[in-house]
């Protein structure tokens, strides 16, 4: 039986961050990370398109917490102890220089996730943390037969892996969204919210966006029949629509859209906040100003030209028609297309830059001052194993860093 003071199950972002922060404060403790794969930090490596978006330049706890469709309330307190600014300082103190991009996302200046992976591996070595790969955890209990229910808070944990059994005083579960580990945590008394994908793009086939691949523009968008709506840049892709406005909808609406089996209708306002009546007024003005020109000659209302053309076509307007010849019905139809353009969404695609799962350990069962389970003393949970997820932009890693840091602090005290 391998005996450790602290075992961390899962060699990902939250696991390494927790292990390093404990080891720095308590060098005498024997700590190991148990990782089922042959490599650790695999998601960190592929994150942010290979650049690793470590956090986001949002320095007000309340504003930061608003980026979490699940976890908003629970993370507010923890962010007062460790948040984005602390993350930036943490990495910089360990030799990783970071930069803030225009949209607030924070990356290593090398633009390479290897910088973050190397930092974690270096720190783990420095602090004698044992990193045991190919150790898949299969069971956790309180005796060597994995049968006993806990009778005293001092009972050690028994951890069964594919390469032998371990015991420890403190157990940290940072296994991300592995359904088997959720079942195991269920066995230990936790309830689990079913997992559904978050952060995905919408599959749409529609003449109105044909040939517009790569076009980005600011919109407001809502899912018809629900309360889900968002605003921001929308990007037309090969498969349909992506960009912050869509990704936000996919995160906040993760569960509702799963219930709809990813078959629903959206309404896009290409003029963001203008109403159909406002748009009609603008069009009547344009009709007077450009009477002798075709509406196709110049894009109007600050819209990209290709989009403007597609919307004109969708409103039944011909190239040869002049502004002066547009009928009331055509102007009305155009004002509707500009502000209430409807699209049928049929399925979703994975957003390759960042992807998370909504679902996990019920947040009511965790003490957010310490990230300790309320069901099992000395068991800590951090990262995606919890029912916490964020919109895209570095916030998902921030959850892993914050949870890992607070768990380490609690174990140290």
What is the binding site for ligand FAD (CB under 6 A)?
Answer: 9-15, 34-37, 42-43, 46-48, 52-53, 136-137, 174-176, 178, 180-181, 352-356, 383-385, 394-397, 400
CB 380 within 8 A of CB 18: yes
If the CB atoms of residues 120 and 323 are measured against ligand FAD, the closer one turns out to be 120
Q: How far is the CB of 121 from ligand FAD (least distance, A)?
A: 13
For residue 60, give every residue at least 6 positions away whose Cβ sits within 8 Å of its Cβ, in sequence order, or none.
none
CA distances from 180 to 6, 155, 375 (A): 21, 24, 19
Is-contact 295 282, C-beta < 8 A? no
**Smallest separation (angstroms) from ligand FAD to the CB of 357:** 9
The answer to whether 167 touches 158, Cβ cutoff 8 Å, is yes
Region of 364 (left: φ > 0; alpha: ψ -120 to 50; beta: rest) is alpha
| Cα 141 from chain centre | 32
User: Can you tell me whether residue 142 is helix, strand or coil?
Assistant: coil
Nearer to ligand FAD among residue 138 and residue 340 (C-beta)? 138
Dist. CA 265–CA 346, nearest whole Å: 9
Comparing CA positions, the residue from 380, 389, 405, 323 lying closest to residue 82 is 405
Phi/psi of residue 402, nearest 5 degrees = -65, -50
Structure tokens at 316: 């039944």
Query: What residues contact 154, with CB distance under 8 A and at least 6 apart?
Result: none
By C-beta, is 343 or 380 nearer to ligand FAD?
380
Identify which of residues 308 and 395 has a Cβ nearer to ligand FAD in the complex.
Answer: 395
Q: Least separation, in Å, of the C-beta of 182 and ligand FAD? A: 10
Structure tokens at 81: 């102890």
Q: In terms of CB distance, is 264 or 351 closer to ligand FAD?
A: 351
Q: How far is the CB of 13 from ligand FAD (least distance, A)?
A: 4
* In the complex, minimum distance from the CB of residue 135 to ligand FAD, in angstroms, rounded to a whole number: 6
- Min dist CB 14 to ligand FAD, Å, is 3
Q: Which is nearer to ligand FAD, 67 or 127 (CB)?
A: 67
As measured in angstroms, the least distance from the Cβ of 347 to ligand FAD is 19
Between 181 and 279, CB nearer to ligand FAD: 181
| H helices present in 145-300, as ranges | 179-187, 244-252, 254-259, 276-289
């Amino acid at each position: 039986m391998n005996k450790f003071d602290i075992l961390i199950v899962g060699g990902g972002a939250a696991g390494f961050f927790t292990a390093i922060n404990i080891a720095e404060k308590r060098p005498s403790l024997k700590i190991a990370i148990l990782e089922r794969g042959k490599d650790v930090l695999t998601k960190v490596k592929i994150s942010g398109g290979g650049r690793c978006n470590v956090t986001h330049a949002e320095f007000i706890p309340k504003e930061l917490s608003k980026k979490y469709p699940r976890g908003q309330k629970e993370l507010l307190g923890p962010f007062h102890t460790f948040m984005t600014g602390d993350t930036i300082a943490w990495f910089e103190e360990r030799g990783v220089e970071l930069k803030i991009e225009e949209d607030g996302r924070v990356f290593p200046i090398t633009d390479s996730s290897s910088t973050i992976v190397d930092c974690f591996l270096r720190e783990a070595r420095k602090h004698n943390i044992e990193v045991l790969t190919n150790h898949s955890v299969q069971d956790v209990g309180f005796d060597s037969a994995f049968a006993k229910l806990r009778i005293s808070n001092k009972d050690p944990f028994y951890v069964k892996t594919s390469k032998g059994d371990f015991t420890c005083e403190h157990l940290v579960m940072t296994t991300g969204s592995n359904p088997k580990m959720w079942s195991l945590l269920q066995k230990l008394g936790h309830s689990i919210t079913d997992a559904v994908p978050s952060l995905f793009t919408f599959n749409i086939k529609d003449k109105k966006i044909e040939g517009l691949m790569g076009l980005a523009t600011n919109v407001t968008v809502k899912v018809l029949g629900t309360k889900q709506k968002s605003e921001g840049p929308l990007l037309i892709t090969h498969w349909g629509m992506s960009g912050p406005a869509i990704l936000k909808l996919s995160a906040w609406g993760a569960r509702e859209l799963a219930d709809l089996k990813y078959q629903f209708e959206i309404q896009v306002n290409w003029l963001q906040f203008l109403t159909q009546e406002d748009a009609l007024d603008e069009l009547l003005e344009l009709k007077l100003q450009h009477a002798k020109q075709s509406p196709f000659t110049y894009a109007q209302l600050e819209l990209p030209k290709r989009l403007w053309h597609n919307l004109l076509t969708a409103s039944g307007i011909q190239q040869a028609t002049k502004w002066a010849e547009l009928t009331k019905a055509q102007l009305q139809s155009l004002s509707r297309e500009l502000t209430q353009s409807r699209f049928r969404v049929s399925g979703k695609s994975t957003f390759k830059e960042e992807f998370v799962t909504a679902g996990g350990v019920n947040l009511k069962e965790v003490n957010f001052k310490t990230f300790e389970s309320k069901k099992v003393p000395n068991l800590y949970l951090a990262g995606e194993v919890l029912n916490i997820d964020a919109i895209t932009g570095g916030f998902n890693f921030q959850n892993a860093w914050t949870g890992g840091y607070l768990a380490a602090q609690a174990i140290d005290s």
